[in-house]
Chain A
């Protein structure tokens, strides 16, 4: 399959077309509204129902994960530009959306587009764009950084600017209203919204003995946890394919969502009756604990970025400490209950 990427190597089937400037994406993360996790066959049925055209891809290791075929949305609108780039630029093409389910429970709707400059600076016949799924062409040449900053900045939210969020939301609503789901989730949660932009980090130095390692050393990522449930992620990578970038950002978004959800929950129940607290903690641990599986399908180049995130802020460190805190609470309560029981037993005998 033709995979646009942040690479600068020319593709012979693309004639004289310009190289990709930036890959833009947004992913919404939440839970399916169903009492239990879906089994593999149920997951595949749901995703095939949602997007009948094309194949559902699924993984069993190290954690069940399935992705729908892509859905395309036609766009002819503005892309915001960062400081120094002017206000916006018109772009035409398609954005590509997918729905992913992890562990039969965590639902992610993502929308992605690779941006290039139009070869002739005009809108082409629509067939030009349907032959280039998930690509947007700017009608005037732009700097990659301006497009990335514009997309992630406040200008990226204005009316008339490509609204990936609305596309993700529509898709999420369709999933939640699917006839095979009950329409209700046992866990209260908020959707998180992660917008991301990836540009090329240049080229691998010539003579580098191991291209993949050299590429990995050049990769950079910056994540910002914004107001409420908004996050942004800025990536520079040498030759990551769009699929790899989307996979990486989806993975970061998923683990950030688990942390956000559990922290929010613990905060919410901190003043509640101990019995209720325990029931809720039990629910969290049963539903989410096994889903923590960072970097499961992330490419070599980008897995280095995961390692950096593990160093700072230390996603897994925080998760382990949260799990330990919840387990301690259960253990303490159990010990306390046991003490009460023993006391009661002694008094009786």
Chain B
């Protein structure tokens, strides 16, 4: 004889998201690039062979797999909005098509800051677990400089108290240094108090979390891709677009087990900062468990942590002829 009793409010609710195998970011564009007449055709054309290589890498990892790959492009509309979607989108899609590529999703960077009343950036910050230095036993709270996150222990502040000599400089330390440190300190937002302007590095980190389907707000997945009725024409402002716009009906799911970003080398430093940030964000446990289990179920290897699911192709500058 058994009897069981449960209350819904006592069980965590976690929305599931559909998964592709890979999410490939084909380009990341500033408004200035678009206004400045960036050669989108040339940009897409040079991406193509790297995209092919990424597709091939999936078949190499799991021979016989029927690849589910989605592509995306990120437009930075957070710091400026100089040109309208109606002007940009057709150009971008044509450039991709002429290179033999297809853009499945278009995302707006400002949506990583706030969308539909929630802030994905704030969600990520709430999940930060600062890296401990050797000897941190929990007796003192982690030292948080408001709006900054480092990958170790900063140089102690050189405050001069009366009658005391200035201490000798102590170097900062990378928490996971292999003998020598590469100390990185990342600004997450400014100003320290009041309405925050999120740093590009944090938004780029949020972008990776969204692509891995690892963010949840009270159990709900934020910034779910939406279709747009294009018969009415494209909007004039970016804010009128959804966070992630689905451009193709037959697109594979936006979120994926692994992400690749094919980027200009100018993003190298920002993406290093992304690694520092994401290494200290505790992913939503149920969302992560679902990602790991589903990926394993499809015969893909189990990766140790979320950083191991993020790959890059960093491209040198596009020369002019």
Contacts and interface: CB of A to CB of B under 8 A. Distances in A.
Interface in A157-207: 159-164, 166-167, 170
Contact of B176 (A14, A111, A126): A126
Nearest to B284: A54
Nearest to A79: B137
Residue of A60, A78, A126, A166 with most partner-chain B CB within 10 A: A126
Contacts of A54: 12, 218, 284
B142 A74 contact: yes
A166 B218 CA distance: 28
A170 B137 CA distance: 14
B130 interface: yes
Contact of A53 (B123, B278, B280, B288): B123
Contact of A127 (B5, B136, B278, B302): B278
Contact of B285 (A95, A111, A123, A133): A133
Nearest to B276: A126
A76 B135 contact: yes
A55 B7 contact: no
B305 A52 contact: no
B286 A1 contact: yes
B296 interface: yes
Contact of B138 (A2, A92, A127, A163): A163
B127 A128 contact: no
A73 interface: yes
Contacts of B176: 123-126
Given A76-B134, A77-B138, A52 B126 contact: yes
B135 A160 contact: yes
Contacts of A59: 7, 9-10
A286 interface: no
B136 A74 contact: yes
A13 B302 contact: yes
Contact of B10 (A58, A72, A127, A161): A58
Contacts of B138: 73, 75, 77, 95, 111, 162-164, 166-167
A61 interface: yes
B40 interface: no
A76 B288 CA distance: 24
A17 to B, nearest CB: 10
Interface string B299-312: 00010111110000
Contacts of B285: 1-2, 133
Nearest to A66: B9
A130 B214 CA distance: 13
Contacts of A84: none
A1 B5 CA distance: 20
A15 interface: yes
Interface in A139-163: 159-163
Contacts of A74: 129-132, 136, 142
A218 B307 CA distance: 41
A94 interface: yes
Contact of B306 (A14, A94, A131, A166): A131
Nearest to B11: A57
Interface in A55-101: 55, 57-61, 72-78, 92, 94-95
* Size class of the A contact interface (CB-based, 8 Å): 35 or more
Contacts of B11: 57
B286 A130 contact: no
B147 interface: no
Nearest to A166: B139
Nearest to A132: B305
Nearest to A77: B137
A12 interface: yes
A125 B307 contact: yes
Given A74-B130, A126-B175, A131 B305 contact: yes
Contacts of A55: 12-13, 218-219
Contacts of B13: 55
Interface in B52-93: none
Contacts of B218: 54-55
A92 B308 CA distance: 20
Residue of A2, A55, A78, A94 with most partner-chain B CB within 10 A: A55
B132 A127 contact: no
Contacts of B137: 75, 77-78, 159-163
B305 A127 contact: yes
B141 interface: yes
Interface of B: 5, 7, 9-13, 123, 126-127, 129-142, 151, 175-176, 218-219, 278-286, 288-289, 292-293, 296, 302, 304-308
The 3 closest A-B pairs by CB, nearest first: A53-B126, A77-B137, A74-B132
Given A54-B284, A73-B138, 12 more contacts: A15-B302, A53-B123, A54-B218, A60-B9, A76-B134, A77-B136, A126-B175, A127-B308, A128-B305, A130-B283, A131-B305, A163-B137
27 contacts: A1-B286, A2-B289, A15-B302, A54-B12, A60-B7, A60-B9, A74-B129, A76-B132, A76-B136, A111-B138, A126-B131, A126-B280, A127-B278, A127-B279, A127-B280, A127-B304, A128-B304, A130-B280, A130-B281, A130-B283, A133-B285, A160-B137, A162-B137, A162-B138, A163-B139, A166-B139, A167-B138
